[in-house]
Amino acid sequence: MMAESQEILLQKIKEQGDLVRKLKAAKEANEKAKKTVKEYDLKEIDRHLCSYSYICGYVPSNCDVELYKSIGKNKDFDRYKYLRRWWYHMRSYSDSEIELFPMTVLPTKMYIENNVCDDQIQEEVKKLLALKKQLTVEDVVPQKFTLKTPKGTRDYNPQQMAIRNNVLQKIITVFKKHGAECIDTPVFELKDVLTGKYGEDSKLIYDLKDQGGEILSLRYDLTVPLARYLAMNKITTLKRYHIAKVYRRDNPAMTRGRYREFYQCDFDIAGQYDLMVPDAECLKAVTEILDALDIGKYVLKVNHRRLLDGMFEACGVPADKFRPTCSSVDKLDKSPWEEVRTEMINEKGVSPDAADRIGKYVLLNGGVELAEKLLKDEKLSNTKAAIEGLEGIMLLLKYCELFGIKDKIVFDLSLARGLDYYTGVIYEAVLTEPIKIGNEEQSVGSIAGGGRYDNLVGMFDTKNKQVPCVGVSIGVERIFSVLEAKLAAGEMRVRTNEVDVYVASAQKNFLEERMKICTELWNAGIKTEQSYKKNPKMLTQLQHCEDSCIPLAVVLGESELKRGMVKIRDIVSRQEEEVQREDLVKELNARIASLNKRGINGV
């Protein structure tokens, strides 16, 4: 009975705890919401700025910065002229100046009050503590937290690691075949390095806590660290690959291979070279990788940022709306044209006519003949950027033909790519068929992407010195998830260890003999295991060999050893053969070589 009332009490505490947590979360959400532009009273701010230079007092402070960032330049400045004066003034400050502004608190009259107040939380916390006091000290068991990995991350167990290493090895082989060198960078960068590189996606960056010292963030991709590396070391040519984990606080979809911590496999060529030569080689490398991985039919879509710009220009989009319009086009792989059109018109401020003209172009895809046709297109042929892009595409397609991959390339005007930093060719590899796993079909879609980014390195150089770059990133997590699904469906098998020989014995107190044999085999470089028990059962030992796919066992027995013999057992055929004790290493090496030759061993 006592225990039961305790349980009820614990339940009550849990419920009250949940309530407090919810209130706190609501408060936090409200505070976040406060900072969005909708919640600000722009009229009030404008009135304030009529008599004051800044939001708080006579020097700019963090309040000005926060407000400035939230308001954006799309506001109706015609209605708020003091706000406009202040806004343009704020815009003139550099980041390093802003850093030095004093910290103050935004006057509450400038935003709508939040409705969960601290008092309410305090009230509920008091109730919670009162409940807890009813528990005697002895009742408070050490509370274990939920055992899990952080949201959007996962462990790799030995089978998953075997798959992962196998995939990565194939990719590395191709990178090396093309002469790439390997580099690595720290998992975090100074926050400033990442600032201003990812546009809207910057909100997905993981920041480290300020524990005194530098302000750090986890890397978001491997491209920006590469650019930082090149600029910092004043390197002007490099062909490198980099395989490492990157971090994005996105909404994970783990079954489809979308994680918050995930691998990128990047291959990039930096240097001032002739047009499209390295660009085409990146595509060649991608085909070799996808062929080696053998996960289904694919196409490589290519397009050119200059052509997109030229196309927008020709369709009558103002230059300052190229990037927003481009990010609308980028959604065409997921949304129908009608939706994208609506977004362009309503959110990006493109005129309906211009949108319709764009709509005609982005439907197009093909090969050289399409590029040739577009070069004669009335509108495009009058736009310098479009001609530049089309000539680039034609050269790229020609090189692809020389590389023997023409049939895998599609020139696709709807390909736009999300990232801001691309300046030339862009590409994306897409699996064209869903993958069948068991009775289910899994649609994989985009599996690699990349492009040319000629201005990124210069952003890090004090003299704005550019290093042109082109590269591609393989989306291995999707490949892992397909292969893991196949494994789970029993359609493939992997070995998680590479042991060739198990040293077994049915004899009691034979641990020392086993240890001697193991030592001999290890010293001869043979991958060997034994039981860590003194007197393991024979059946257990042989079972372990079968479970772990170990092909050979050395079986020790007292009588054989006395005659200077040992038995070698083939685990699959169960055949045993006696060999001379002193020939053991030689015999085993011969058998292992023969197994490897027949491809029976290994993953």
Query: Rule CB under 8 A: is residue 206 a binding residue for a copy of itself?
Result: yes
Alpha-carbon distances, residue 528 vs 176, 300, 497, 500 (angstroms)? 31, 45, 11, 6
Residue window 21-40: x/- pattern of binding to a copy of itself, with contact defined by CB under 8 A: -------x---x--------
Q: Is 74 in the site for a copy of itself (CB under 8 A)?
A: no
Cα diameter, the chain: 106
Select 286 or 317, whichever has its Cβ closest to a copy of itself: 286
Least distance (Å) from a copy of itself to the CB of residue 256? 18
Q: Which token pair is 235?
A: 């390197």
- Smallest distance from the beta carbon of 6 to a copy of itself, in angstroms? 15
Give the shortest CB-560-to-a copy of itself separation in angstroms.
20
Distance (Å, whole) CA 362 – CA 413: 5
Tell me whether residue 213 or residue 490 sits nearer to a copy of itself (CB atom): 213
Instruction: Give the range of 348-356, 364-372, 418-426, 530-538 binding a copy of itself by CB under 8 A.
Output: 530-538
> Binding residue for a copy of itself (CB under 8 A) from 71, 128, 265, 370?
128
List strand residue ranges (DSSP E) for 283-368, in order.
Answer: 298-304, 365-366
Residue 296's φ and ψ, nearest 5 degrees, are 130, 175
288 binds a copy of itself (CB under 8 A): yes
Residues facing residue 302 across a β-bridge: 411, 427
CA–CA gap between residue 175 and residue 177 (Å, rounded):
5
Q: How many CB atoms lie within 10 A of CB 3?
A: 7
601 binds a copy of itself per the rule CB under 8 A: no
Site for a copy of itself in 539-558 (CB under 8 A): 548
Residues from 246 through 285 that contact a copy of itself (CB under 8 A): 247, 249, 261, 269, 271, 273-274, 277-278, 281, 284
Considering only residues 346 to 365 of the shown chain, the ones binding a copy of itself according to CB under 8 A are: none
Q: Are strands 440-442 and 576-580 parallel, antiparallel or unpaired?
A: unpaired
127 or 331: whose CB is closer to a copy of itself? Answer: 127
Total of chain residues touching a copy of itself, rule CB under 8 A: 117
Q: b/e map of 88-99 (b: 16 or more CB within 10 Å)?
A: eebeebeeeebe
List binders of a copy of itself among 407-446 (CB under 8 A): none
Residue from 1, 8, 105, 137 touching a copy of itself (CB under 8 A): that is 137
Q: Pick from 403, 253, 377: which is nearest to 315 by CA? A: 377
Q: Is 593 in the site for a copy of itself (CB under 8 A)?
A: no
Cβ–Cβ under 8 Å, residues 590 and 583: no
Q: Minimum distance between the CB of residue 533 and a copy of itself, rounded to whole angstroms? A: 5
The window from 244-252, 343-351, 377-385, 583-591 that contacts a copy of itself (CB under 8 A) reads 244-252
Q: How many CB atoms lie within 10 A of CB 354?
A: 20
Judged by DSSP in three states, 498 sits in coil
Query: Whose CA is closest to 448, among 469, 407, 478, 480?
Result: 478
Give the interface segment with a copy of itself, choosing from 204-212, 330-338, 366-374, 415-423 (CB under 8 A): 204-212
